[in-house]
Amino acid sequence: MRKFKTESKKLLDLMINSIYTNKEIFLRELISNASDAVDKLNFKSLTDESMHVDQADLAIRVSFDRDARTITVSDNGIGMTAEELERNLGTIAHSGSEEFKTENAESQGDALDIIGQFGVGFYSAFMVAKRVRVVSRAFGEDEAHVWESDGLEGYTIEPGERAEHGTDVILTLRENVPGENGEEGENYDRYLSEWGLKDLIRRYSNYVRYPIQMMVMKSRQKPKPEDAGDNYKPEYEDYEELETINSMTPIWKKRREDVEDADYNEFYKSTFHDFEDPARTISFHAEGALEYDALLFIPGRAPFDLYSKDYEKGLALYSSNVMIMEKCADLLPDYYNFVRGVVDSADVSLNISRETLQQNRQLRAIARRIEKRVTSDLEDMRDNAREAYERFFENFGRGLKYGIYASYGAKATELADLLLFWSAKEQKMITLAEYAKAMPEGQKAIYFAAGDDRDRLSKMPVVTGVLARGFDVLLCTQDVDEFTFQSMREYVARDMPKVYEDDAAREAAEKAVADGAEPELEDRHLELKNVATGDLDLASEDEKKEAEEASKEHADLFSAMKEALGDHVQKVSVSSRLVSADDAPACITTEGPLSLEMEKVLKRGPEGDVEGMPTAQRVLELNAKSPVFAKLAAAQEAGDADKVKLYTGLLYDQALLVEGILPEDPVAFAKNVCELM
């Protein structure tokens, strides 16, 4: 017996037990080696006129014998001599494929697509096999040789027989290992089935450029006997047929104009197990320092587990048509976690097991290009297929908003213009840019209201008051909306008509436009304001003066109402939002960064009942023009403290109900209403 070169026992043990994390990739590695062997022969035949090879006959064959517990991977490639068996299999980590690739680097072109790099893939067979036998006959040689090893101490090389050039790799599988102490055992029998092998081939080697063939069991109806009667029941028989298992030509390597949309849709549905066509298909080829092909899909519907902790994002990563990772998460940012697809590059540096990438900067470069391309296609859908985009946003918009919030606003530049919100004025979904374009002259902020129901929001006093002044309000009904706006702080509206500091400057600009000049444009920074928080500064000078006079005149009333409400409110004041007798008599607003809606969202969270959870600083704003206010003022003037307290409690509780919040004591509220009746 010959000993492995290098520190073989330690290195081989490392190969088998440490380098690979997934046992089932052994078949991928053996098929890749077989593909390299066929590729070498094909390339030699193209460069050496004395070699005559029928390319149509080049193939890889996979078979199994359940009784003998063997799996065989055969090819009719270039084969190996005894010396090559010694060099390639007896010297661990020597890659004959890499050597061949280097020698022919200048002339290989598209005719050669060598997969191997490290010379260790073959030894992955020992993860599942207790013995490996390799029978190989080099092209042009009359004699075959047999390499055999148990993967422990060494190997033997002896003369053998093979009818034609090529290589057979025969694995004798290990025995099953039962599980112990609740841990799962090892079931090697799963590889000894037609279904099991076909599944591995299609998952990892579906796009190897040569046919991977298997004898598969099929069923067919027997011919009906001539003497069969009317009550004859059809009979069936099983038979074996040689079938090509892999697709060979990856759809992502084809030019976009050469592929029908129906073919892309079918590939998407069969590969990613969806029953709906994708909403968008993105196919592109990148060149430069890194060359790769990408085929991406935006699904037509959200998967049921998209927002669960079990959902896994990522694109399938291939290298030279061989799958390396089923879901490479680093290729997608979290806010594009819904994108599915494939990236294939022969240039990425893989680690020795070919299960992960060696250089993160390569991955980051690909990921940046993919992110830009997805963003560009979403913008195109938004502008040219609005109905489809609104369906997309209904499915995946929450993730885009969360991308801004989770990045503390850093991603707002990339994502803000992809967001849609319901316009109370337009009664449709609009973008922030569309909101800004429709603003009346002098508007300096984007106004929004947050809640859980669009109809309720549209009727809230704080919303109707802003609408009455001619300003639009965005109605936000997702729990992440207000957090997103707080992270953004502002929206930069591009190419807005320039606002001039004085009439003279404006008149000069208007004259210039009349004379044929282009209108001046500017980027305008618009604050994002919740209509239920802080001072919106929408009141006219007369309204401000009236509010100030009412506050001074009824200071004692406000003091009594604050005392009645205690710590429930920060203060009671005259409203600058409610300025008409027809408006609501009161509303609740907040001061500080936390709104009532954000408080509700936090309370619904896992730590919502924890002591010390922050609460909104509530303000009860009164409509000084309302008849109710006149009743309050009269009760205060009459010295009826009980009535002031009763009215105060009722106004506060009904304002809470308008906000979708139950009064702290619903029984007391009902009792007070009945007393008034």
SS3 80: coil
The CATH number of whichever domain residue 171 belongs to comes to 3.30.565.10
**Co-location of 348 and 494 in the same domain:** no
Is pLDDT of 181 > 90? no
Please give, one letter per residue, the 3-state secondary structure of 550-577: HHHHCHHHHHHHHHHHHHHCCEEEECCC
Is 340 or 674 the better-scoring residue by pLDDT?
340
pLDDT in tens, 575-612: 888 778 788 888 888 888 888 888 888 877 766 566 66
**Co-location of 53 and 102 in the same domain:** yes
**Co-location of 451 and 548 in the same domain:** no
Token readout for 627 is 């008849």
**Co-location of 275 and 360 in the same domain:** yes
- Distance, in Å, from the CA atom of 488 to the CA atom of 418, rounded to the nearest integer, reads 14
Residue 377 is assigned to a structural domain of this protein: yes
The average confidence (pLDDT) of the chain is 85
Residue range 62-86: average pLDDT?
Answer: 94
pLDDT band for 13, please (50, 70, 90 cuts).
low
Residue range 103-132: average pLDDT?
Answer: 64
Listed in order, strand segments (DSSP E) in 304-408 are 315-319, 322-328, 340-344
pLDDT in tens, 462-519: 899 899 889 999 999 998 999 999 999 899 999 888 877 777 777 777 787 787 788 8
What is the pLDDT at residue 339? 96
Taking the alpha carbons at both ends of the chain, their separation in whole angstroms is: 105
What is the pLDDT at residue 129? 93
The CATH number of whichever domain residue 578 belongs to comes to 1.20.120.790
**Co-location of 526 and 597 in the same domain:** no
What is the pLDDT at residue 68? 96
- Distance, in Å, from the CA atom of 246 to the CA atom of 203, rounded to the nearest integer, reads 9
- Distance, in Å, from the CA atom of 636 to the CA atom of 622, rounded to the nearest integer, reads 15
Report the candidate in 131, 26, 115, 29 with the shortest Cα–Cα distance to residue 70. 131
In Å, how far are 151, 179, 180 from 186, measured between CA atoms? 19, 7, 11
Q: How far is CA 552 from the centre of its chain?
A: 57
Of 361, 386, 411, at which residue does a domain stop?
386
Residue 393 is assigned to a structural domain of this protein: no
- Distance, in Å, from the CA atom of 99 to the CA atom of 504, rounded to the nearest integer, reads 78
What is the pLDDT at residue 19? 61
SS3 642: helix
Residue range 25-33: average pLDDT?
Answer: 90
Residue 245 is assigned to a structural domain of this protein: no
The range of the structural domain enclosing residue 318 comes to: 251-386
**Co-location of 376 and 255 in the same domain:** yes
Is pLDDT of 118 > 50? no
CA triple 110-292-25, angle to 5 deg: 85
Is pLDDT of 104 > 80? no
Listed in order, strand segments (DSSP E) in 277-321 are 280-286, 292-298, 315-319
What is the pLDDT at residue 614? 79
Is pLDDT of 117 > 50? no
Residue range 106-114: average pLDDT?
Answer: 47
Instruction: Report the amino acid identity of residue 594.
Output: L
Q: What residues pair up with 469 in beta bridges, in sequence order?
A: none
Instruction: Report the amino acid identity of residue 17.
Output: N
Token readout for 536 is 């919106």
Question: Tokens 């090819």 sit at which residue?
Answer: 75
**Co-location of 645 and 556 in the same domain:** yes
pLDDT in tens, 312-369: 999 998 887 888 888 889 899 999 999 999 999 887 766 444 445 545 788 888 999 9
Of 530, 563, 587, at which residue does a domain stop?
530
Q: How far is CA 5 from the centre of its chain?
A: 46
**Co-location of 597 and 671 in the same domain:** yes
Residue 649 is assigned to a structural domain of this protein: yes
**Co-location of 519 and 583 in the same domain:** no
Q: How far is CA 616 from the centre of its chain?
A: 34
**Co-location of 486 and 552 in the same domain:** no
* Segment holding 72, helix H or strand E: strand 70-75
DSSP 17: I
Listed in order, strand segments (DSSP E) in 222-373 are 236-244, 280-286, 292-298, 315-319, 322-328, 340-344
- Distance, in Å, from the CA atom of 42 to the CA atom of 52, rounded to the nearest integer, reads 10
What is the pLDDT at residue 354? 46
Is pLDDT of 149 > 80? yes
Q: Are 616 and 575 in contact (CB under 8 A)?
A: no
**Co-location of 442 and 375 in the same domain:** no
- Distance, in Å, from the CA atom of 607 to the CA atom of 483, rounded to the nearest integer, reads 17
pLDDT in tens, 304-326: 888 888 889 999 988 878 888 88
Number of alpha carbons in the 13 Å side-chain half-sphere of residue 150: 5
pLDDT band for 380, please (50, 70, 90 cuts).
very high
What is the pLDDT at residue 152? 77
Is pLDDT of 96 > 60? no
Residue 407 is assigned to a structural domain of this protein: no
Question: Tokens 């998952």 sit at which residue?
Answer: 203
- Distance, in Å, from the CA atom of 1 to the CA atom of 600, rounded to the nearest integer, reads 75
- C-alpha dihedral (421, 423, 427, 428), degrees to nearest 10: -30
Question: Tokens 């299960």 sit at which residue?
Answer: 355
Is 665 or 368 the better-scoring residue by pLDDT?
368
Residue 584 is assigned to a structural domain of this protein: yes
Does the predicted model carry a pTM greater than 0.85? no
Residue 400 is assigned to a structural domain of this protein: no
Q: Which residues contact residue 262 at a Cβ distance below 8 angstroms, ignoring those fewer than 6 apart?
A: none
pLDDT in tens, 217-231: 999 998 888 888 788
What is the pLDDT at residue 255? 86
* Segment holding 240, helix H or strand E: strand 236-244
- Distance, in Å, from the CA atom of 596 to the CA atom of 591, rounded to the nearest integer, reads 10
Residue range 649-671: average pLDDT?
Answer: 84
**Co-location of 375 and 488 in the same domain:** no
- Distance, in Å, from the CA atom of 27 to the CA atom of 246, rounded to the nearest integer, reads 13
Q: What residues pair up with 621 in beta bridges, in sequence order?
A: 573, 587
- Distance, in Å, from the CA atom of 498 to the CA atom of 216, rounded to the nearest integer, reads 73
The CATH number of whichever domain residue 290 belongs to comes to 3.30.230.80
pLDDT in tens, 603-647: 777 665 666 677 888 999 898 888 888 888 898 888 888 888 888
pLDDT band for 99, please (50, 70, 90 cuts).
low
Residue 263 is assigned to a structural domain of this protein: yes
Is 14 or 413 the better-scoring residue by pLDDT?
413
Q: What residues pair up with 526 in beta bridges, in sequence order?
A: 491
- Distance, in Å, from the CA atom of 198 to the CA atom of 542, rounded to the nearest integer, reads 81
What is the pLDDT at residue 280? 95
Structural domains counted in the chain: 4
Of 498, 530, 562, at which residue does a domain stop?
530
DSSP 457: H
pLDDT in tens, 235-280: 899 999 999 999 888 899 888 888 999 999 999 998 888 889 999 9
